[in-house]
Amino acid sequence: MSLADAARAVRENAYAPYSHFKVGAALKTPSGEVFVGCNVENVAYPEGTCAEAGAIAAMVAAGETEFAEVCVIADSPHPVPPCGGCRQKLMEFGKPGAKVTLATLDGAVFETTVADLLPGAFSNDHMDRA
C-alpha cells in the first residue's frame, strides 16, 4: 500500500464532528515502517489535533524517532499545508530533505520537503551554548 493510499484510508477514521474536515496522514520511517494518523476534534478544542501529529505520535509510541517521507490528504480543492505546529513537529522528526506530499481526494498533488515547509526552523543547533 502506498503512503497516499494509507493516508486516504486512515482519513476515513478522522473524528471531525465540528469542522467535518477529515485529514489523513501516513509517514514512512527509514526502516520502512509506516505509521498513520488522522485529525481528532473535541468540544473544548474544536480545531483538534492534526493528522500529522497523530502519525508522529504513533511512530514515537512504537519506538521510532525519524521519518523519511510523509503524505497528507484531505478533501479540499487544493493540497492542504500543515499548520505551524505540525511543521515544527515535521522538522523535529524528519531531516530537512525529507519528502512531504500534500494531496487531495481529487488527485491534486504538491510535493515539497520539510525544509521548504519551514524555512528558518528552530533546531538543536540553536541550543549549542545551552
Higher-pLDDT residue of 124 and 12 is 12
40 is in an annotated binding site: yes
Q: Is 52 a catalytic residue?
A: yes
Instruction: Say whether 50 counts as a known binding-site residue.
Output: yes
Which whole number is the average pLDDT over 12-18? 94
Domains of the chain: 3-123 (3.40.140.10)
41 is an annotated ligand-binding site residue = yes
Phi-psi region of 123 (alpha: psi -120 to 50; beta: other; left: phi over 0): beta
Q: Mean pLDDT across the stretch 25-31?
A: 97
Tens-digit pLDDT profile for residues 30-65: 999 999 999 999 877 766 778 999 999 999 999 999
Reading phi first (left if > 0) and then psi (alpha if -120 to 50, else beta), residue 88 is in alpha
38 marked among binding-site residues: no
- The active-site residue, picked from 33, 52, 66, 92, is 52
And the C-alpha cell for 12? 476515513
Q: What is the mean pLDDT of residues 69-90?
A: 93
Q: pLDDT grade, residue 69 (50/70/90)?
A: very high
Percentage of the chain with pLDDT > 90?
A: 76
Q: What is the pLDDT of residues 81-122, one digit of tens each?
A: 998 889 999 999 999 999 999 999 999 999 999 999 988 777
pTM metric for this prediction: 0.91
